[in-house]
Homo-oligomer: A and B are copies of this chain.
Amino acid sequence: MDTRTGLPVVGMIGGGQLARMTHQSAIALGQSLRVLATSPDDGAALVAADVHVGSHLDLAALRDFAKGCDVVTFDHEHVPGEHIRALAADGVAVYPSADALQYAQNKRLMRERLTAMGAPMPRWRPVNRIEDVRDFGDEVGWPIIGKAATGGYDGKGVWVLTGPEPAAELLAQGVELIVEEKVTLDRELAVQVARSPFGQVAAYPVVETVQEDGICVEVLAPAPGLGEEQAAEIQQLGIRIATELGVVGMLAVELFVDADGRFSVNELAMRPHNSGHWTIEGARTSQFEQHLRAVLDYPMGDTSAAAPVVVMANVLGGPDGGMPIDERLHHLFAAEPGVKVHLYGKQVRPGRKIGHVTALGHDLAQTRARAARAAHWLTYGEEPK
């Protein structure tokens, strides 16, 4: 409790853009997010008043950080489970709990748990030996996908295996590996669900995520052409996963849709997620506010969309040189006065996510074009060709 305001103190471990945007929502709720950053130059550390600098791998730093927090939560999933358990044993309210978060930290555990739940999933198998890889590939058909159970993100830790040999090297390096069938993708979807300790759940509209090289570049809300029934089915699945896994806070469920329209779970994230950035302007309650409401056990906010079509486009750092970022912003604002910009306070590096833009509208093609144009200006400093 902040005695100056009578309002709770939420601590977020990790000082990236998710903490940065959560701080914006915390301010509206009368709070000031406490941030554990690894560097004073982290995106959230540049803008928050209550910043601790330390490592999320250092239990002493975590314990010091948690002092005076009403709730501790996460901007990423890299805090070791044993540290989270140690904080909980100290009496700290940590959400999501280690028991829930393990399913976002370890893909093998997630696949096992969701298999037991009967959730739709690609065929998959944990593999320890090269023979396991060969047997699985022969069974489901090559190529297959190899995934490191832990530590992957944005396409890292994922390999397309055309035969068993490349897996040998990974296994020899000690990578905990699972293999999955390569789904013939029609598209990818995602659904955001919030859950509070009380057990209230709230699902957002299902969105389509557009990936390039394993990185999400665009989110379309709601997912175009998705039937009401299938949308409801996916929301129900998200709610069931949040409830059965005991998630508290935001849960993002990423899904594959195959050529026959069948969907299966790809990944889980238990925090605000890139596929939910559209909610800042595009939904009545942003995922960042909703995450705070959830971990604080406040009643959930309205998840309905604020416009018929919402498109979020990620802004990646472009090639070195050219127009300074501030000047790019001028051009974007002149070209698209209605597009909303979110910059994360990061140094521009080629391919690095440095921000996102959101466009609201009525027509999908037009709204997509506006968001793409704005993102292009920030990445390349020029009008799209």
Contact = CB atoms under 8 A, between A and B. Distances in A.
A345 to B, nearest CB: 5
B4 A46 contact: yes
Contact of A337 (B24, B302, B334): B302
A95 B360 CA distance: 31
Contacts of A334: 299
Q: Number of copies of this chain in the oligomer?
A: 2
Interface size grouping (class) on chain A: 35 or more
A1 B324 CA distance: 12
Nearest to A293: B333
A29 B27 CA distance: 16
A301 B7 contact: no
A127 interface: no
A90 interface: no
A103 interface: no
Interface string A3-36: 0111110000000000011011011111010000
Contacts of A344: 30
B345 A6 contact: no
A343 interface: yes
Contact of A300 (B24, B51, B337, B341): B337
Interface string A40-83: 01000111110100000000000000000000000000000000
Contacts of A341: 28-30
A326 B355 CA distance: 33
A299 B51 contact: no
A304 B345 CA distance: 28
Interface string A153-195: 0000000000000000000000000000000000000000000
A129 interface: no
A49 B44 CA distance: 9
Given A338-B284, A347-B4, A30 B299 contact: no
B337 A301 contact: yes
Shortest Cβ-Cβ A-B pairs, 4 listed: A30-B343, A302-B338, A299-B333, A299-B334
12 contacts: A2-B46, A4-B41, A4-B345, A4-B347, A6-B325, A23-B27, A30-B345, A46-B49, A49-B49, A284-B340, A285-B337, A302-B338
